[in-house]
């Protein structure tokens, strides 16, 4: 059985300065037998390096149910493609007067 995500990816969009309406990123997640993401390799990305790093970090924090062979938890790799269809907007600081 393949690993399943146990939550949603959280990405800190406040640090993203790129204004790109659409984009795609392809990654390989290395998941331990206890469900931790131990590595994320980016195969391709339509985003700038800083944005790609933020997306990668969000997936690195994600937890999974472990992959299983029979009743035995095993390490697993998962190749995923994520398509974003919204604009990343940086948080605008209010003028404090």
Per-residue pLDDT of the chain (97 residues; tens, 9 = 90+): 888 888 888 776 666 666 666 788 999 999 999 999 999 999 999 888 888 888 899 999 999 998 999 999 999 999 999 887 765 544 444 444 4
Point out which residues pair with 54 in neighbouring strands: none
Q: How high is the pLDDT of residue 34?
A: 94
Q: How high is the pLDDT of residue 92?
A: 42
In a domain, 64, yes or no: yes
| Cβ atoms 3, 77 nearer than 8 A | no
The domain tally of the chain equals 1
In a domain, 7, yes or no: no
In a domain, 97, yes or no: no
Structure tokens that stand for 97 in this block: 């007067």
In a domain, 78, yes or no: yes
37: containing domain: 21-84
Sign of the four-CA dihedral 70, 75, 79, 83: positive
Q: What Cα–Cα distance (Å) separates residue 43 from each residue in 29, 37, 94?
A: 11, 16, 38
Q: How high is the pLDDT of residue 10?
A: 78
In a domain, 36, yes or no: yes
In a domain, 95, yes or no: no
In a domain, 92, yes or no: no
CA angle (20 as vertex; 82, 90 as ends), nearest 5: 105
In a domain, 93, yes or no: no
Structure tokens that stand for 36 in this block: 């931790």
């Amino acid at each position: 059985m393949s690993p399943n995500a146990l939550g949603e990816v959280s990405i800190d969009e406040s640090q993203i300065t790129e204004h790109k309406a659409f984009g795609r990123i392809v990654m390989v997640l290395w998941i331990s037998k206890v469900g931790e993401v131990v590595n994320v390799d980016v195969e391709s990305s339509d985003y700038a390096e800083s944005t790609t790093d933020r997306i990668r970090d969000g997936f690195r924090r994600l937890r999974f149910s472990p992959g299983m062979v029979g009743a035995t938890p095993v390490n697993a790799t998962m190749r995923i493609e994520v398509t974003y269809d919204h604009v990343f907007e940086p948080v605008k600081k209010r003028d404090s007067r």
